[in-house]
């Protein structure tokens, strides 16, 4: 199996799906000749032409809104939001429209579309090119939210997302684009939307993460292993619908839980996971449910010392693991 | 350049001359039916049988004129909440309208999930509407974009009020359609109010049609109480769209004959004199006069037509009232589509 | 002390503040001659004129965005969003602008403004006139979020919000507007933003709520009292910044916790409260942390049977209380 | 009606004639300073000392011309990320600019929190800018609204690119300003690209100024490489605004002499020939030629001015480099303002 990075995995998924299904098109800022600011769609305009790889106007509400309309007219749009931070002007079209159309039409209309958004920090992106947006959208019934951490998952999940009859928000952590490499089979495969994946089985405590933090958690778990602590690392992968059974199953076995995300702690997605554990694994819990998240500041600053201070690090995660293990 | 069709374009008489009498009578019937249904809804509201009504009254000519220029079963519409007459022309039945009013399980618009007047029917290519105003404008552009990608020749038609033109989605949607010359018709039904806010507090132009040139597309202002004038400008816009020449922005100048909705009381912001004068622009009275004048409809025929319509409204109301409410458990259905 | 309803309390707060401070103005759809669709600003245009009670264009992004600008030019705007559901187009201006300006300018600029939004259901409002929006915004550092449940709190908190140098989202539950009456002193007073309020002290379990649900919880607690169960009902009132000390203090005393909100359960604000309890009151917990929320459907439907099925009821809340008490 | 100022309005010579030579030389100095700072930033970027640069190069005349028509310390500006020359004219020092580039604790723009070029200074009435494009347009309207409420006579000036005109906030902000005749100047710096997307994929009109009439306000298109022409149209817009006659939309046609930013490579979407021809529209060369031609600046004076500017840039760079980075703990400061 060839080893590729996460960005290439995403490009391959789009390319292979477009080759098979004429209804698929890409719509976003600079996705055409420029190939996207991260080069995800590089080369695709040459293959599929400007009617299927379309440079949109600089307006996120109509990027999503037009894709909603197009999805209802028998096409399969893939919207690209240039940076997840810039999804904010499209909030109305995503939450009030895309996510509610199937329900409000009593199942008559469907909105099969994908919204790709590069998210997360640690790349000198400052307040507006580093944000985590999952908590906001994972709260929305009718929307699916996917946040893969490996090339294999990214490719398999993106294909599933494109085939899904529902709107799917597909979050690509910017820092993992070129940093994270992995083996990806040459044959056509899918990773289903929904199931979490135990990336590292363990016995003493359970850690839940996604995106870049998954890798930091694996790194920390490795360090803890050397200290004789066996950490189970669960990659949530899909945030909505959430794989509650795997989360609860893991904590029932290990009796301890830590949730890690980059987003601000308060009101972050970790709250939901912790609440589920506190309700459904209460009897088995041997320690407080811990969460690590970014600090409660409006977003991640530009200056390196501030960015570093914001980002949860493998060291900080390892420290929480130790606290839990010792509890 | 914004064009005021009533200034120097074919008016009622010319357009009417081209249409067969049966079509003209059918247009009139649709207008009368919309009005009769609408009035019935208010009665039901006052009787405590329907918690919410929002009206089409005064907009009938603008909607019927436009919808008659579209091809049923082929063209796609995204009508806003005043679009009762639009959806009737596109094929929705009075009973279906009443099922929505009573929020019945069998309401094809939403199964009783949405407020009345949030029209939808996949079968009729009426795209589901929400309450946040203006969101349908980007959708319309997107339906047109898909049509162009697929190489189809359906036309997309959407409507909204003049207040809604203040929303960013109005701008973004029309701009996209203009850039890609998409086959979309944007009909603004200008009744001079957004609930209580008059047009001059909404925009500093006299006509919404003045905004067409800002997008490089025609902006046409038409007397929206003149069904045939609206038909004519829409017909041309449809031709233009089907030819691949792109979108048109049409302002239909209409009157709002009721309060904003059953939750509103417009006497707090409209003077009795204004309310009075609005009544004089009733598009149905106007078309009736035209038809009589041109011997296309006799007084007796009109009476018979109105009686038929009343019976239809009675039957629709009764059938819809008998229909079952949604089961509580159905609350959880259709959150996600199954593949 | 005169008894007034919640709507009048809000109107009084605006009126009394405007009479004192010329910098305050109201900006929103139909707030002028019409007095707002709920009549909150009724009569104010006659008193303060159309330069201070301003009918905005029908465009929420500029309602908020213009108030952000005005706040930076030494005025004190009160933006009205006609229904909380329609705040979605203003998401960008609220989250990316209002909430981040003080932080991003390193404390140089401030945005003293209030955004009033009538929220919540149970009033035949259907999918788009019934929504709960607190989880989305209470997640945003830099923003304050207030959700009073009584006329006294509403008046006192709104005055504090108007005086606050930060953007404050002020949530008014529509169903409480005329339903909830209470005594309000005639003298000028404030209720500070931040502290929760124990509306009913109790010993056997703690319940956390806000808005209409607070009243449903009080009703349920009353029923439980008759059964010999003593329920403490805590009105969170301010959701951001959250009064963590009062929450944890209460659970440490009662050892049991239930959180109730109307918003969809998954990713709702209850998750944060439950997570805080699961971390900080773990040692004292004698039962799973329970949450009651609206079901995970896109929003509250119009048909009465569906609306009723959506809304958490005093009965359903009482049942959860009994479960907890018996645990 | 959109007006193209260069077609039939006073051009460079006329405007220049009214301004004292010292002012003209000061304008030139600001342009040269902006360019020198900008070029230095690229060098620092290439040297690995600054992770991000976004340029003003090619926009200097549009900005300096406009800013000279404003009153420093009184008028409020909301310049977008290409506004280096704007903020220099409004009073920001080269050192302050460099402090932002290096993300230093003492950076007055944001204390190193934002990317460079996100200008802010309460002291200078430069309102803090974010990255999501177009959000400053409603802010500008709001600053103007407050000014009107307070009865003040400050003018508000904001800038943005032509790509940004596709955003809903452009529409909503200008519309509000137009309805209330607010004292706001909206300057679109049209460099024909939004990153890689050319103007014709952004809008179906030739000039952004065509959008003025859609709001009932003047839309003026001006050659933005001609500093005096921009000065002149802005001066008139300022007069209009201060008189209470409302906003003006100005399109300054400029060139983008660099890639979009240091993260971009424009050779992937601009031909060598196009890049070449862009160079020929350098606004600084143009103004230098004008000044020489009119004996307002000798070659020797220009050399001296450039040497002074270079020294200033050196000093600013050195001082800023020496300044401390923010302390990690300061991350938690200023989330909320204290009352
Ligand atoms: C985004 C949004 N904001 C506010 C409302 C509340 N609202 C419903 S209809 C309406 C007025 C609409 O006016 P206009 O567009 O002129 O249409 P008309 O009702 O006059 O036909 C308002 C403010 C809404 N539905 N959506
Ligand atoms: C809302 C939003 N979407 C996308 C971006 C990414 N982005 C930054 S600059 C830019 C192009 C802006 O083009 P234009 O407005 O023409 O200004 P120019 O850079 O050409 O001066 C884009 C797409 C952004 N900053 N904000
Ligand atoms: Mg209207
Ligand atoms: Mg540009």
Q: Which residue of B has its CA nearest to D168?
A: B168
Q: Which residue, C81, C316, C317, is CA-closest to C207?
A: C317
B105 near A85, Cβ under 8 Å?
Answer: no
Q: How far is CA A294 from CA A50, A61, A291, C120, in A?
A: 40, 28, 10, 30
The DSSP 8-state label assigned to residue C41 in this structure reads: T
Q: Ligand 1 in contact with B244 (CB < 6 A)?
A: no
For C123, the token pair is: 């009033």
Contacting subunits of D (3+ beta carbon pairs below 8 A): A, B, C
Confidence grade of residue B9 (pLDDT, cut at 50, 70, 90): very low
Q: What is the distance of C-alpha B72 from the center of its chain?
A: 15
Q: How far apart are CA B252 and CA B190, in angstroms?
A: 6
Confidence grade of residue C157 (pLDDT, cut at 50, 70, 90): very high
Q: What is the pLDDT of residues C52-71, one digit of tens each?
A: 999 999 999 999 999 999 99
Mean pLDDT of chain C: 98
Look up tokens 């983008």; give the residue: D256
Contacting subunits of A (3+ beta carbon pairs below 8 A): B, C, D
ipTM: 0.98
Q: What is the pLDDT of residue D12?
A: 56
Residue nearest to atom 26 of ligand 1 (CA): B132
Q: Chain D within 8 Å of A124 (Cβ-Cβ)?
A: yes
D224 near D62, Cβ under 8 Å?
Answer: yes
Cβ atoms within 10 Å, residue C3:
10
C129 is known as an active-site residue: yes
pLDDT exceeds cutoff 70 at B3: no
Q: What is the pLDDT of residue C200?
A: 98
Closest by Cβ to A279, choosing from C138, C279, C291: C291
CB contact under 8 A, D170 and B171: yes
Q: Which residue, B306, D118, B145, is CA-closest to A56?
A: B145
Indicate which atom in ligand 2 lies nearest the CA of residue A29. Answer: 23
Q: How far apart are CA C102 and CA C166, in angstroms?
A: 8
Q: What is the distance of C-alpha C247 from the center of its chain?
A: 17
- First-to-last CA distance in chain A? 42
pLDDT exceeds cutoff 80 at C171: yes
Q: Is residue B209 part of a domain?
A: no
Q: What's the domain count of chain D? A: 1
Residues with CB under 6 A from ligand 2: A 29, 58, 60, 82, 86, 89; D 82, 131-133, 160-164, 189, 191, 193-195, 256, 260
D162 near D203, Cβ under 8 Å?
Answer: yes
Q: What is the distance of C-alpha D327 from the center of its chain?
A: 31
Q: How far apart are CA A118 and CA A80, in angstroms?
A: 9
> For chain A, which ranges sit under pLDDT 70?
none
Question: Does the predicted model carry a pTM greater than 0.95?
Answer: yes
Q: Which residue, B329, B322, B269, B317, is CA-closest to B45?
A: B317
| Residue from D125, D149, D169 whose CB has the most chain C CBs within 10 Å, to mutate | D149
Q: How far apart are CA B235 and CA B5, in angstroms?
A: 13
Instruction: For residues D304-325, give the mean pLDDT.
Output: 98
Q: What is the pLDDT of residues C286-319, one digit of tens each?
A: 999 999 999 999 999 999 999 999 999 999 999 9
Residues 6+ apart with CB under 8 A from C41: C11, C14, C26, C31, C32, C35, C53, C80
A127 near C100, Cβ under 8 Å?
Answer: yes
pLDDT exceeds cutoff 50 at B110: yes
CB contact under 8 A, D148 and C51: yes
Q: How far is CA C103 from CA A127, A300, A304, D113, D154, in A?
A: 10, 11, 17, 8, 26
Domain extent, residue D29, equals: 5-191+218-320
Q: Which residue, B270, B134, B263, is CA-closest to B198?
A: B270
**Total count of residues recorded for chain B:** 339
Q: What is the pLDDT of residue C240?
A: 98
Q: What is the pLDDT of residue B339?
A: 84
Ligand 1 centroid distance, CA of B161 (Å): 7
Q: What are the residue ranges spanned by the domains of chain C?
A: 3-183, 197-326
Residues of chain D positioned with their CB less than 8 A from the CB of B197: none
Cβ atoms within 10 Å, residue D285:
12
Q: What is the pLDDT of residues D35-93, one digit of tens each?
A: 999 999 999 999 999 999 999 999 999 999 999 999 999 999 999 999 999 999 999 99
| Residue from A59, A60, A87 whose CB has the most chain D CBs within 10 Å, to mutate | A59
Beta bridge partners of D198: D193
Q: Which residue, C144, B161, B267, B167, is CA-closest to D338?
A: C144
Indicate which atom in ligand 1 lies nearest the CA of residue B260. Answer: 19
Residues 6+ apart with CB under 8 A from C137: C94, C95, C143, C145, C169, C240
Q: What is the pLDDT of residues C72-88, one digit of tens each?
A: 999 999 999 999 999 99
Q: What is the pLDDT of residue D15?
A: 66
User: Is the bond into A241 cis (omega within 30 degrees of 0)?
Assistant: yes
Q: Which residue of A has its CA nearest to C302?
A: A104
Instruction: For residues B273-296, give the mean pLDDT.
Output: 96
B-side interface with D, Cβ within 8 Å?
A: 166-172, 175, 178-179, 181, 200-205, 210-211, 213-217, 246
Contacting subunits of C (3+ beta carbon pairs below 8 A): A, B, D
Q: How far apart are CA D61 and CA D287, in angstroms?
A: 8
| Residue from B141, B162, B171, B173 whose CB has the most chain D CBs within 10 Å, to mutate | B171
Residues of chain D positioned with their CB less than 8 A from the CB of A26: none
Closest by Cβ to B171, choosing from D168, D181, D246: D168
Confidence grade of residue D1 (pLDDT, cut at 50, 70, 90): very low
User: Is the bond into A146 cis (omega within 30 degrees of 0)?
Assistant: no
Cβ atoms within 10 Å, residue D280:
9
Indicate which atom in ligand 1 lies nearest the CA of residue C128. Answer: 25
Report the residue among A28, A58, A131 best suited for mutation to probe ligand 2: largest number of ligand atoms under 8 A from its CB: A58
Confidence grade of residue B16 (pLDDT, cut at 50, 70, 90): low
pLDDT exceeds cutoff 90 at B51: yes
CATH number for position D283: 3.40.50.970
Q: What is the pLDDT of residue C48?
A: 98
* Active-site entry in A129, A173, A215, A261: A129
Residues of chain D positioned with their CB less than 8 A from the CB of A305: 325-328
For D308, the token pair is: 């002074």
- Alpha helices (runs of H) in A173-211, residue ranges in sequence order: 176-179
Q: Is residue D243 part of a domain?
A: yes
**Total count of residues recorded for chain D:** 339
CB contact under 8 A, D329 and A58: no
Q: Which residue, D65, D12, D109, D36, is CA-closest to D230?
A: D65
pLDDT exceeds cutoff 90 at B7: no
Q: What is the pLDDT of residue B1?
A: 36
Q: Give the number of beta-carbon pairs within 8 Å between B and D.
A: 72
Q: Is residue B205 part of a domain?
A: no
Among positive and negative, which fits the CA dihedral D186, D190, D194, D195?
Answer: negative
Q: Is residue D154 part of a domain?
A: yes
CATH class of the domain comprising C197-326: alpha beta
Confidence grade of residue D339 (pLDDT, cut at 50, 70, 90): confident
Instruction: For residues D331-336, give the mean pLDDT.
Output: 98
Q: What is the 3-state secondary structure (H, E, C) of chain B?
A: CEEEHHHHCCCHHHHHHHCCHHHHHHHHHHHHHHHHHHHHHHHHHHCCCCCCCECCCCCHHHHHHHHCCCCCCCCEEECCCCCHHHHHHHCCCHHHHHHHHCCCCCCCCCCCCCCCCCCCECCCCECCCCCCCCCHHHHHHHHHHHHHHHCCCCCEEEEEECHHHHCHHHHHHHHHHHHCCCCEEEEEEECCEECCEEHHHCCCCCCHHHHHHHHCCCEEEEECCCHHHHHHHHHHHHHHHHHCCCCEEEEEECCCCCCCECCCCHHHCCCHHHHHHHHCCCHHHHHHHHHHHCCCCCHHHHHHHHHHHHHHHHHHHHHHHHCCCCCHHHHHCCCCCCC
For C205, the token pair is: 């379990």
* Active-site entry in C102, C129, C215, C261: C129
Q: What is the pLDDT of residues D6-15, one digit of tens each?
A: 333 445 556 6
CATH class of the domain comprising C3-183: alpha beta
Q: How far is CA B26 from CA B65, B222, B285, C191, in A?
A: 11, 21, 15, 64
Q: What is the pLDDT of residues A206-258, one digit of tens each?
A: 999 999 999 999 999 999 999 999 999 999 999 999 999 999 999 999 999 99
pLDDT exceeds cutoff 90 at B26: yes
Residues 6+ apart with CB under 8 A from B248: B185, B186, B212, B217, B218, B219, B220, B236, B237, B240, B241
């Amino acid at each position: 199996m060839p080893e590729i990075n996460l960005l290439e995995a995403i490009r391959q998924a789009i390319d292979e799906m477009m080759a098979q299904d004429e209804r698929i098109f890409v719509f976003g800022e600079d996705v055409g000749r420029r190939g996207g600011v991260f080069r995800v769609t590089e080369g695709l305009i040459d293959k599929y032409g400007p009617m299927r790889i379309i440079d949109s106007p600089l307006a996120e509400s109509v990027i999503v809104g037009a894709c909603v309309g197009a999805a209802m007219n028998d096409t399969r749009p893939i919207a690209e939001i240039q940076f997840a931070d810039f999804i904010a002007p499209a909030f109305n079209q995503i939450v009030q429209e895309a996510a509610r159309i199937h329900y409000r039409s009593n199942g008559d209309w469907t909105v099969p579309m994908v919204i790709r958004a590069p998210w997360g920090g640690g790349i000198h992106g400052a307040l507006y090119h580093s944000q985590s947006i999952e908590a906001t959208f994972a709260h929305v019934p009718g929307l699916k939210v996917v946040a893969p951490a490996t090339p294999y998952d990214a490719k398999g999940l993106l294909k599933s997302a494109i085939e899904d009859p529902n709107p799917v928000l597909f979050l690509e952590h910017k820092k993992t684009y070129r940093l994270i490499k992995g083996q990806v089979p040459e044959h056509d495969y899918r990773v289903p939307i929904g199931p979490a994946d135990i990336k590292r089985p363990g016995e003493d405590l359970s850690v839940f993460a996604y995106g870049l933090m998954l890798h930091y958690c694996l790194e920390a778990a490795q360090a803890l292993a050397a200290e004789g602590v066996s950490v189970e690392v669960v990659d949530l992968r899909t945030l909505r619908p959430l794989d509650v059974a795997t989360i609860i199953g893991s904590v029932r076995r290990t009796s301890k839980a830590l949730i890690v995300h980059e987003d601000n702690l308060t009101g972050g997605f970790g709250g939901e996971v912790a609440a589920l554990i506190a309700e459904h694994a209460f009897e088995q819990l041997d320690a407080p449910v811990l969460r690590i998240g970014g600090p409660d500041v409006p977003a991640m600053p530009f200056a390196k010392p501030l960015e570093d201070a914001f980002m949860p690090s493998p060291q900080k995660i390892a420290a929480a693991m130790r606290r839990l293990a010792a509890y | 350049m914004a064009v005021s069709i009533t200034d120097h374009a074919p008016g009622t008489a010319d357009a009417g001359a081209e249409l067969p009498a049966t079509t003209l009578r059918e247009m009139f019937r649709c207008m009368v039916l919309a009005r009769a249904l609408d009035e019935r809804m208010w009665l039901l509201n006052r009787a405590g049988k329907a918690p919410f009504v929002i009206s089409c009254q005064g907009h009938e000519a603008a909607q019927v004129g436009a919808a008659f220029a579209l091809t049923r079963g082929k063209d796609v519409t995204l009508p806003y909440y005043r679009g009762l007459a639009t959806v009737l022309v596109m094929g929705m039945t009075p009973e279906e309208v009443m099922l929505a009013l009573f929020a019945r399980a069998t309401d094809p618009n939403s199964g009783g999930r949405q407020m009345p007047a949030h029209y939808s029917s996949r079968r009729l290519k009426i795209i589901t509407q929400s309450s946040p105003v203006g969101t349908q404008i980007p959708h319309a552009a997107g339906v047109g974009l898909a049509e162009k990608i697929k190489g189809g020749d359906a036309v997309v038609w959407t409507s909204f009020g003049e207040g809604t033109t203040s929303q960013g989605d109005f701008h973004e949607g029309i701009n996209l359609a203009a850039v890609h010359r998409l086959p979309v018709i944007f009909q603004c039904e200008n009744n001079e109010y957004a609930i209580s806010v008059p047009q001059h507090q909404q925009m500093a132009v006299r006509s919404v049609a003045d905004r067409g040139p800002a997008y490089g597309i025609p902006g046409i202002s038409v007397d929206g109480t003149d069904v045939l004038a609206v038909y004519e400008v829409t017909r041309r816009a449809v031709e233009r769209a089907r030819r691949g020449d792109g979108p048109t922005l049409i302002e239909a100048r209409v009157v709002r004959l009721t309060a904003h909705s059953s939750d509103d009381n417009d006497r707090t912001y409209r003077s009795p004199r204004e309310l009075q004068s609005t009544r004089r622009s009733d598009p149905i009275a106007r078309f009736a006069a035209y038809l009589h004048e041109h011997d296309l409809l006799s007084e007796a025929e009109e009476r018979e037509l109105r009686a038929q319509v009343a019976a239809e409204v009675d039957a629709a109301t009764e059938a819809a009232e008998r229909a079952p409410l949604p089961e509580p458990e159905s609350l959880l259905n259709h959150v996600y589509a199954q593949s």
